[in-house]
Structure 1
């Protein structure tokens, strides 16, 4: 995973997920709700999370699903 997260942003664990009793998955980025997964999409997500070997891999899965994974070319405008 060395080249994927060059700035080590995923080590800060910005993503969290919650599972509802009807298997609906809620994804949060830095405390803000960003995506809801239901049905087959939620089942696939939970399988991938269960197969992940460490927290960084879990963070990468959530980053790719939400589309909030920064590519390094964004700039802060003042």
Structure 2
């Protein structure tokens, strides 16, 4: 398990909004200046990490601790 974000895509709507999807389900909608900044930034860096940050699904810091929890040991 690499820990890198994956499964994010985005769609540009006709009205200029950007819809961020995670595994095909809507996760966030960016409008106006935020959408414009996103479209500029998505071409310059890692788009998966950028979309993970936008949706709030990014490096919580408890991944290693949760992996060792008894409930998750069988996974």
TM-score (norm 2): 0.72
Which consecutive unaligned segments of at least 5 residues does structure 1 have?
Answer: 1-5
Deviation at 1:39, TM superposition (A): 0.2
* 2:17 aligned to which of 24, 27, 32: 24
* 1:7 aligned to which of 2, 27, 38: 2
Q: CA RMSD, aligned part only?
A: 2.2
In structure 2, the residue matched to 1:47 is 40
Which consecutive unaligned segments of at least 5 residues does structure 2 have?
Answer: none
Quick check: 1:71 aligned with 2:23? no
Matches of 2:13 and 2:41 in 1, distance apart?
Answer: 17
State the secondary structure of the residue aligned to 1:71. coil
Q: How many residues align?
A: 67
Larger Rg: 2
1:27-73 deviations in whole A, cap 9, x for unaligned? Answer: 01122111000000000000101223xxxx11011111111124352
* 1:37 aligned to which of 18, 30, 33: 30
State the secondary structure of the residue aligned to 2:43. helix
In structure 2, the residue matched to 1:3 is none
